[in-house]
Amino acid sequence: MPDELPGGVLRGPQAHADRAFRGIAIGAAALVLLILGMIALVMADRARPVLAEMGLDFFTSKRWSPPHEKFGALPFLFGTLYTAAIALAISVPVSLGVALFVTQVAPRWLKKPMIYLLDLLAVVPSVVFGLWGVLVLSQHFGLGRSFLTAGIILGIMITPIITSLAREVMETTPAAEKEAALALGATRWEMIRAAVLPHSKGGLVGAVMLGLGRAMGETIAAALVIGSALGQITLDPFAPGNSMPAVIANEWGEADHMHRSALIALAVALFLLTIVVNLIATAIVQRSMARSRGKS
Amino acid sequence: MTKPLVFGALTLLLVAPSGCRKQSGGSGAVGEEVTLNASGATFQQAFQEVAIEAFTKKHPNIRINYGAGGSGKGRQDFADLVVDFACTDAPYKAADLASLRGGEMYYVPNVLGAITVTYNLKGVDKLQLSPEVLARIFQREITRWDDPAIAADNPGVPLPATGIVVARRSDGSGTTENFTRYLQLAAPGAWKLNAGATVEWPADTQAGNGNSGVAQIVKSTPGAIGYVDLSDAKASGLRYAAIKNAAGNYVEPTLEATSAAGEGIAVQDDLIFSALNSSAPNAYPITAQSWCMLYAKQPGTAKGAAVKAYFEFMVTDGQALLEEVDFAPIPKSLQDKALAQIQNVQVP
């Protein structure tokens, strides 16, 4: 039995292990911050030329013309948000429905294989979704390359993630609460509304926000099907458009100077956008958790 | 007492391999294993593949990796000394030459290639287009195949009353840069989108990824027109238009007509030239050129010698391989100049 000092610090042979473990843990944590900081620093530095040249116009101008050295990112900002919104509109009802089915409705023998299939869908590489989108949605169903095609593909891509998280959250509903609802004569749907949904609200919002983050950042699948139209801001879902990651992927290889700087500035903007979305998500989750705790 | 021992062993395991690695490497005799890394233009990727295969068969000790990530990436990688050589469809801008970390460099022209204007129009086997009409089609100012302007280029050809679908690249591309530069040169009044790897195409154009992506759209869309390099156009079995050249003749993109574009062009001392809109009477006017680049003072002995040997191969024996990948050789006079340039490269 090693001597124990106040504060739970061990002395003797185990102290080495303890210290080593602590060092590794702190090092790993510091590394994450360091990498994130370095990414932000280098990107901001490389983006500076275009921001100095264009100023706020970079975020508010519609015109993106590399040969004329005009870089306005507004259409791509719009395209990113618009396709992500389409993706959520498709994905959220489906994901929550599937998660409810798997956790509350499905017979036991069906549950396992369904979970397995859903997880399988989550690991399909995005380029596969993209190519499928080109071949099936664009060509076979004649949707062309458009906001809608990209939105559908993104919606399909984020469904497994949202489903998987939503399922985990719903599983944690205490059996006592569900049984209480049923014992009071609630139907299955009333039980879901009274017990499962209120209990998992925070987690569900988090799941959706995670899906949103992925939809906004998805590169290859979007680049393949979105249509790569420059300067397009329209709510017409059948119009070809562009999104920030798709522009970066498409134009990076041939970009130099200002153009390269502008693409990096796009990446910075995307970085900030995802951070903002994440902060909003965290705030929503915390508020709804605080509220549900206050209620009970 | 066992735990510290385990940690010690783990540390040893982690440290040992990196310590050993230092012993390999080093420089030495001719004939040692050399790996050259290169990046750049996708336009000449097919040529690089066959040239590397033929060259490394002769020199089994040399390995060459060509990453076709685009001309712009090639120029950047070359400037940053990330690669041993790079290939590009467009030279550096004058202001950038100062940023090259390897100092003075040489351009070595190695291929000429036709950019075809492919189309999908039932019943029209032969199509002739002048640069002005081409410019207006790609700017969506002419939107129907039976437009009088197209008919004027094709006397006696019954043109269908079909809408035109314009296919272009979704990715930034040297092919786009050369195609738009051609329109800028040949139709200065009509072409308003400037020249570049990405230009402001009208929103109602269809975007495809790579030459093959554009070819795919043209092939699957009746009434479509697009610009595709010759080998991809041939591979997809597409028809392509004869373009009115600077001498006023309608010329189809054959290898002979591509070669002809290389005759009588003005070549600068640094071997920069443009084969676009050639004045030769039988030249195909949308003929693009490509260069590979190497540093005048090679940093390494073995690598330097290998780079030099490969560049010599590309402008001599390698030229015979161009035809099988649908490119045309550079003119003999240019080959000689390029070879002389390569001889100037210093290897320590």
**pLDDT score recorded for residue A268:** 93
Q: How far apart are the first and last CA of chain A?
A: 44
C-alpha span between B279 and A109 (Å, rounded): 76
Q: DSSP state, A137? A: I
Q: How far is A140 from chain B (nearest CA, A)?
A: 11
Counting as low any pLDDT under 50, the low residues of chain B are 1-30
- CA closest to B203 among chain A residues: A229
Q: How many CB atoms lie within 10 A of CB A69?
A: 14
Q: How many CB atoms lie within 10 A of CB B165?
A: 19
**pLDDT score recorded for residue B1:** 39
Is residue B294 within 8 Å of residue B108, measured between CB atoms? yes
Q: Residue A197: exposed, middle, or buried by beta-carbon count in 10 A (0-12, 13-18, 19+)?
A: middle
pLDDT one digit per residue (tens) for chain A, 296 residues: 455 555 555 566 778 888 899 999 999 999 999 998 999 999 999 999 999 988 899 999 999 998 888 999 999 999 999 999 999 999 999 999 999 999 988 898 999 898 888 888 888 888 888 888 888 888 788 788 899 999 999 999 999 989 999 999 998 888 998 999 999 999 989 999 989 988 888 889 889 988 998 899 888 888 888 988 888 898 999 999 999 999 999 998 888 788 999 999 999 999 999 888 888 878 877 877 776 665 54
Q: Choosing among A242, A254, A258, which should be mutated to test the B contact, i.e. which has the most B CBs within 10 A?
A: A254
With vertex at residue B118, the alpha carbon angle to CA B115 and CA B122, rounded to the nearest 5 degrees, is: 165
The model carries a pTM of 0.82
**pLDDT score recorded for residue A6:** 58
Is residue B179 within 8 Å of residue B199, measured between CB atoms? no
**pLDDT score recorded for residue B121:** 93
Q: Residue A46: exposed, middle, or buried by beta-carbon count in 10 A (0-12, 13-18, 19+)?
A: middle
* Domains of chain B, residue spans: 9-112+290-343, 114-261
The domain made up of B9-112+290-343 is a member of CATH 3.40.190.10: yes
Q: How many Å separate Cα B168 from the centre of its chain?
A: 16
**pLDDT score recorded for residue B160:** 93
C-alpha span between A9 and A17 (Å, rounded): 12
Q: Which residues on chain A are in Cβ contact (under 8 Å) with B72?
A: 252-256, 260
Q: Which of A17, A66, A68 sits opposite B7 (nearest CB)?
A: A17
Is residue B223 within 8 Å of residue B162, measured between CB atoms? yes
Domains and CATH numbers, chain A: 60-295 (1.10.3720.10)
C-alpha span between B189 and B214 (Å, rounded): 26
- Please give the interface size between A and B, counted as residue pairs whose CB atoms are below 8 Å apart: 105
What residues of A are in the B interface, CB distance below 8 Å?
A: 13-14, 16-17, 20, 63-68, 139, 144-145, 223-224, 227-232, 239-240, 249-257, 259-260
Q: Residue A116: exposed, middle, or buried by beta-carbon count in 10 A (0-12, 13-18, 19+)?
A: exposed
**pLDDT score recorded for residue B10:** 42
Q: Choosing among B42, B171, B214, which should be mutated to test the A contact, i.e. which has the most A CBs within 10 A?
A: B171
Residue listed under structure tokens 């409810």: A100
Specify the length of chain B in residues.
348
Domains B9-112+290-343 and B114-261 are alike in CATH topology: yes
Q: DSSP state, A196? A: I
A145 to B174: CB separation less than 8 angstroms, yes or no:
no
Instruction: Evaluate whether ipTM surpasses 0.95.
Output: no
Helix, strand or coil, per DSSP, at residue B263: coil
Q: Which residues on chain B are in Cβ contact (under 8 Å) with A256?
A: 72, 75-76, 93, 96
- CA closest to B7 among chain A residues: A17
Supply B179's token pair: 């195609």
Q: Which of B7, B199, B209 sits opposite A224 (nearest CB)?
A: B209
Q: How far is B26 from chain A (nearest CA, A)?
A: 33
Q: DSSP state, A105? A: I
Is residue A66 within 8 Å of residue A259, measured between CB atoms? yes
C-alpha span between B174 and A85 (Å, rounded): 34
C-alpha span between A54 and A50 (Å, rounded): 6
- Class of the CATH-defined domain B114-261: alpha beta
Q: Which residues on chain A are in Cβ contact (under 8 Å) with B96?
A: 256-257
Is residue B208 within 8 Å of residue B220, measured between CB atoms? no
**pLDDT score recorded for residue A291:** 67
C-alpha span between A79 and A82 (Å, rounded): 5
Name the helix (H) or strand (E) containing B78. Answer: helix B71-79
Is residue B328 within 8 Å of residue B112, measured between CB atoms? yes
Residues 6 or more apart whose Cβ sits within 8 Å of residue A292: A198, A199, A201, A202
Is residue B330 within 8 Å of residue B110, measured between CB atoms? yes
B170 to A228: CB separation less than 8 angstroms, yes or no:
yes
Q: Residue B235: exposed, middle, or buried by beta-carbon count in 10 A (0-12, 13-18, 19+)?
A: middle
Residue spans of beta strands (DSSP E) within B99-162: 105-119, 128-129
Q: How far is A198 from chain B (nearest CA, A)?
A: 46
